[in-house]
Structure 1
């Protein structure tokens, strides 16, 4: 162990970055392999207590060791006189796979309550402010609307607070969000000099960084934006709950993180996921054959049709449900899973259908299964209309600091929230979850409620150590664990991007895009840009679409490389008075038939747009890899913007919007069978000069087949997909056989 001189900086050069920390300023910088500055920030967090003045402390001691485990450099920094007399220790491991920050440790002889911890904090006029300095922040899930997109230039100088954690809709000082949460990471990049200089966005564009959680903290995890800088902010509110009290030895404060660096921010996020996977912090789940089949099945969800017809919530009944299902069947749409959304239940909490509104609910489920579909059910497991129905009392619900149960609600319906930290609640809720699965036998559960969990300023569980982000994880463990006792193959769908929930969540959902009218397809593309990275951990993405049919084909086309297609469209009018055509339905069925069954994959954007506020984090074309094999491709002729680096593919040449998927385990460049769906009638050239012969057969919705003329070219084979077959029926997909 070497004691460092205060004038001596700590430097470490690793595979993807160069780190430098200066003890005199307590600031660190991160440079990429080309020497460009990626970010800089103070190292010391701000620990805010409920009493006394808050203030940073000077460096007391700094040591640099080398780890025996992986050869990482380990920097330990102790700060004295923090908040007027306390000791704070920060430990950083500088490894090839990232910069690992342990949760800081706080020691004080005085008793005080930790209200919040602002990571990487600067101080202005005696007040801690965000300190991470990077020219752009990338924050998926920052807002439910694209009005606050994921790519946020620092020069906007926003003064807002957003969720990195589970989200909550009960805080007026935080931007409302649902999809993507908990995300548990933030990313960014920098630009050398002025972004308007020659080469600024090519030679001057730095590598990207991603800062992600390595463990779920017992607090509300936020991202604070101010003065063009950002910092993760963990609000514990121990002043209300007394769960983080100083004065009794070392106290862990804040959160633990890993900081990864890669050429682009999607790859930096990918490296974050892989770092957790490779170190055993998260593990992709093993899937049974039945679960794999369910994960690949297309879906139809009733919610959009409920809303369009005015039969949502307590107006939802047997007649409305039967009507929606009849519409789906009459349209020719062939989903693999029919998902019944809110509110099939009678009383929230019982997980039982309302017998008055749905007198033959179970008979309807039998009908769906008899038609060859699987059943999916929506559920918000923590909602409770009446504690007495469970033999519980109001004290078993989540309560505020005065012991009064909090209530949440939608429209005119309010309800309590189960406190899953209490054993009677755990026993009752687990029993209800088991009974729910045993009785209704859903193959898919659309899990909902994370954004309803109150922020710690408003309520906390009885076991205070379960507060904040931990409460969501404990609830998932309880409910999903109970359901899997009855059916280990049940598929759980949720909308989080966090890798720390992969033990519980099987399928990512791009819902809900209700604040994205007129741009459902653009928002879906952006959400899939980020959720596709979950494929590294065995979690595919489901793309349900928006609340009209206008651009639904493009949403389904994007989804083809990520997971199953879906729909929540209405068949008798929607907010745009649109309706599906027979060709729309055929495209849905065709893409559903071609879905790849493998849940673990890597998707690469072929025409990525990285920088724009409106176009950033999107791509018009995608390539899917399973291992090193290119197994699926979505191609469009146009880019979404003029920036970014296009990755080339050598499989197909066409001006059509098209999805091409291997029908075997072999990659597209050697497979003997592939399928394609083209949204446009342009000719398609397969770049397969190795093949001796190609047969192209168009499969129509009525079951008829049409063989298409194929001509040999210098680089492969060319044919023209058709929208309608010889029988006049719309074409669902085109089968291509090669030998």
Structure 2
């Protein structure tokens, strides 16, 4: 696909079969269009730079522009400071690269912030890139604000797109971060005119190609948006002139028919252009990643435990109740509060006198072990041979202290060699002592912005600080155990080297909507499967939402539970029917860690409907290997009851191949129905009969013959037989059953 760049009458037009881009030198506005020439967005081109000495450099003149093959550079003279700014774009057939820009100044300046696509407003600016919709995964920790925002709602917020969200400038954020991308798409200027939906644009994904040494934010205000890089060189002195500086983001702009496809193409292009490497997992590691989990956090929350009250006897009690429930999880995760003091990665010997024996006992019974870790918290640096200077410091040269419940702690400065040496040694000792199979990493949201604190080595500031911490500690852990699984909630593909399993935790702010919010979070995280990172489904804090959460989790990875078997927040106890569904879905989970998920019957527009999918298709090597089909959308309207002529059903169900073949050719199928009814599955078998095995919660199995007619099998679905609760159906096509 060629890139065509034309220059005429002070205008630049770039066109490819996927997009077009236009810049007007007279107005200094640029417009981004899709393959059908529909505008995706439009805004002022020149970034604003805020310095301590001159404030916002809001007036400038275009000096010149230069085209070099598929690269365009536009230079400005900033009148307030006499500085020169050069912005460069590289145009590729299916994506655009917006490069970090050059800033040349002979004056003494400290760079505070950089704002993209702004408009001057009094003595400051306002965000001015216009596109009707912005898509920001992780915008809100709760369900109160949709990640798909109509900018005409005039929502005013500065959203964090990187780490540190819980202590950032806007809403309470956590899940999905760091994401390191956002999306835009547009509607016709005549919103509700006849046929206006046909004029709605495709979507663009604006994602980082590399991590900046600053805080990545997105400001939304007055129907405009602007990416912002927060540097605060007035406090830290790391970006100063006179001289020439390289500033800003390295953006990739990718395109898709909708924002889900635009995000998918962002991931694909990062892989194709070798910004990131595909994940490869051993057979053992894949088994740990996809093992269904049970986590103690739900009980800890149900009992409102302070840290000093989680004990070895309580963990044993939780484990025993989990076993008695009949839930067939394969990984048992001990969550927060097992440590004595944060930072030491050691258990509390008073509360857990036989911790290694406890872990060995659980492992001996056939379970993988998971441990919660907040690896950069430090309560007592002296216990590790360090001091307060080895923690992140404020601009007053004092350590930053944070608190959670009864704990007070600082944050390790992982850019210091002394700290790195201590943490690597502690990480290796931790793995050797406890032999965890999985680490539930819980931390990034606590990293402070550069408004608050910074590391000693500023080359690792901003978005790079979490990367450095992961590189020091996680790398040391994996050197000790290459099959160790790291679970985290960040969506960023730029950290895929360190993460293995995505978690949509925590749903604590989503009471009443646990199931809906999980569906929406999986809508985004399912794309990580194409990078080799499945999603762990977790759960909410009530039992009633569990079935829908597990249904949505099964296509994209594995199941989880952090429920309390003594009662949930509503006082409800688990039902055997619910445990049976967990077990049934666990039995038919796919074994591959790289796959593609296609939403079925998804909506792309509307704060209450967008970014939900009632049903899912999973593909491996372009083969349909799993279909999870609901008969109704979340608003109660009917959904598709048939898909690709593979599956027809009048009941909600999950059907999966249990071999490497697609559903229509697999010699073994698994089905988990969520009600009573019938379904028909197309199968290419030339055999007249198959074996149908009903698996029950009691462990009993019931086998019958199943007729195959015209390459279809017809199933009568029922949740129980003679008071036995069904877990799942197994269908086996045997070689000794010819027509």
TM class by shorter chain equals over 0.9
Residue aligning to 1:696: 692
> Can you list the C-alpha shifts for 1:551-587, whole angstroms capped at 9, x where unaligned?
2011111111100100101111121112211111111
Contact 1:607 1:644 (8 Å CA) reproduced: yes
User: Separation in 1 of the partners of 2:6 and 2:292?
Assistant: 60
The aligned residue for residue 15 of structure 1 is: 17
Find the counterpart in structure 1 of residue 287 from structure 2: 293
Superposed displacement of residue 207, structure 1: 0.5
- Name the structure 2 match of 1:218: 213
For 1:176-575, list aligned pairs within 5 A: 176-201=172-197, 203-248=198-243, 250-575=244-569
Task: Compute the displacement of 1:4 (Å).
Answer: 9.0
The separation in 1 between residues aligned to 2:423 and 2:533, in whole angstroms, is 26
2:438·2:487 contact (CA, 8 Å) conserved in 1?
Answer: yes
Distance 1:718 1:412, change over 3 A: same
1: CA distance, partners of 2:55 / 2:335: 51
Distance 1:23 1:732 in 2: 66
Is the counterpart of residue 716 in structure 1 residue 712 in structure 2?
yes
**Structure 1 partner of 2:163:** 166
Q: Which residue of 2 aligns with 1:736?
A: 731
* 1:274-302 deviations in Å (ceiling 9; x for gaps): 11100000111221111111111010111
CA separation in 1, counterparts of 2:82 and 2:302? Answer: 61
Alpha-carbon distance between aligned partners in 2 of 1:317 and 1:14, rounded to the nearest angstrom: 63
Aligned equivalent of 2:578? 584
- The residue correspondences of 1:38-53 to structure 2 (distance < 5 A) are 38-53=40-55
Alpha-carbon separation, structure 2, partners of 1:120 and 1:636: 42
Instruction: Give yes or no for contact 1:711–1:719 (8 Å, CA) kept in 2.
Output: no
Counterpart-to-counterpart distance in 1, 2:105 and 2:6: 25
Flag the 1:306–1:290 CA change in 2: closer, same or farther, 3 A.
Answer: same
1:498 Cα deviation from its structure 2 partner: 0.7
1:612 aligns with 2:614: no
- Assess if the C-alpha contact under 8 Å between 2:48 and 2:115 holds in 1: yes
State yes or no: 1:78 paired with 2:75: yes
Report the Cα distance in structure 2 between the residues aligned to 1:298 and 1:5, rounded to whole angstroms: 58
Aligned 8 A contact 1:698 1:721 in 2: no
Distance 1:721 1:400, change over 3 A: same
Q: Is the 8 A contact 1:620 1:636 kept in 2?
A: yes
SS in 2 for 1:353: coil
**Number of the residue aligned with 2:92:** 95
Compared with structure 1, are the counterparts of its residues 46 and 6 closer, same or farther at alpha carbon in structure 2 (3 Å cutoff)?
farther
- Cα distance between partner residues in 2 of 1:705 and 1:148: 46
Residues 542 and 565 in structure 1, CA contact (< 8 A), matched pair in contact too: yes
1:65 paired residue number: 68
* TM-score normalised by length of structure 2: 0.96
Paired residues of 1:209 and 1:260 also in contact (CA < 8 A): yes
**1:520-574 superposed Cα distances (whole Å, 9 cap, x missing partner):** 1100000000000111111100000100110201111111110010010111112
Report how far residue 645 of structure 1 moved.
11
Are the structure 2 counterparts of residues 734 and 646 from structure 1 closer, same or farther at C-alpha, using a change threshold of 3 Å?
Answer: closer
Q: How far did 1:432 drift? A: 0.7
Per the TM alignment, residue 729 of structure 1 is displaced from its structure 2 partner at its CA by 3.5
Per-residue displacement from partner, 1:77-125 (whole Å, max 9, x unpaired)?
1111254310111110111221110011111001211101111222222
SS of the residue 1:290 aligns to: helix
**More moved, 32-41 vs 485-494:** 32-41
- How far does residue 738 in structure 1 lie from its aligned partner after superposition? 2.9
RMSD over aligned Cα, in angstroms? 1.9
SS of the residue aligned with 2:389? helix
Q: Provide the residue aligned with 1:671 in structure 2.
A: 666
387-396 or 304-313, which moves further after superposition?
304-313
Q: Mind listing any 5+ residue stretches in structure 2 that lack a counterpart?
A: 735-739
- The C-alpha deviation readout for 1:659-714, integer Å capped at 9, x for no partner, is 11111000112111111111112112112264422322111123211235645556
Q: Which moved more, 1:291-300 or 1:45-54?
A: 45-54
Deviations 1:38-75 (A, max 9, x none): 11122211111111142242211111222xxxxxx211
Closer/same/farther in 2, CA of residues 715 and 637 from structure 1, 3 Å limit: farther
**Contact 1:701-1:730 within 8 A present in 2 as well:** yes
Alpha carbons 1:706, 1:725 under 8 Å: kept: no
2:5/2:15 contact within 8 Å kept: no
**TM-score of the pair, normalised by structure 1:** 0.96
Distance 2:691 2:628 in 1: 21
Give the equivalent residue in structure 2 for 1:30. 32
Measured in 2, the distance between the counterparts of 1:227 and 1:587 equals 47
Residue pair 1:507, 1:540 contacting (<8 A) in 2 also: yes
Aligned counterparts of 1:407 and 1:149: Cα–Cα separation in 2: 33
Per-residue Cα deviation, 1:113-143 (whole angstroms, up to 9, x for no partner): 1101111222222422212210011111011
Task: Decide whether the 8 Å contact of 2:685 with 2:733 is kept in 1.
Answer: no
CA distance in 2, matches of 1:365, 1:503: 28
SS in 1 for 2:677: coil
Q: Unpaired runs of 5+ in structure 1?
A: 67-72
Match of 2:655 among 643, 647, 660: 660
Structure 1 residue 381: deviation in Å?
A: 0.6
Seen in structure 2, the aligned counterparts of structure 1 residues 643 and 82 have a Cα distance that, compared at 3 Å, is farther
SS of residue paired to 1:696: strand
Change (3 A) 1:643 1:189: farther
Deviations 1:595-652, CA, capped at 9 Å, x for gaps? 1111111100011111121221010011011121111110011124579999942211
Corresponding residue for residue 645 of structure 2: 650
State the SS of the aligned residue for 2:428: helix
| Alignment CA distance shift 1:704-1:491 (3 Å) | same
CA shift in 2, pair 1:462/1:192, >3 Å: same
- The alpha-carbon deviation at position 323 of structure 1 amounts to 1.3
Q: Distance in 2 between matches of 1:512 and 1:3?
A: 47
Q: CA deviation at 1:178?
A: 0.7
The whole-number CA distance in structure 2 between the counterparts of 1:397 and 1:114 is 25
Match of 1:70 in 2: none
Q: Cα gap change, 1:107/1:144 in structure 2, threshold over 3 Å: closer, same or farther?
A: same
Q: Is the CA contact (8 Å cut-off) linking 1:698 and 1:725 kept in structure 2? A: no
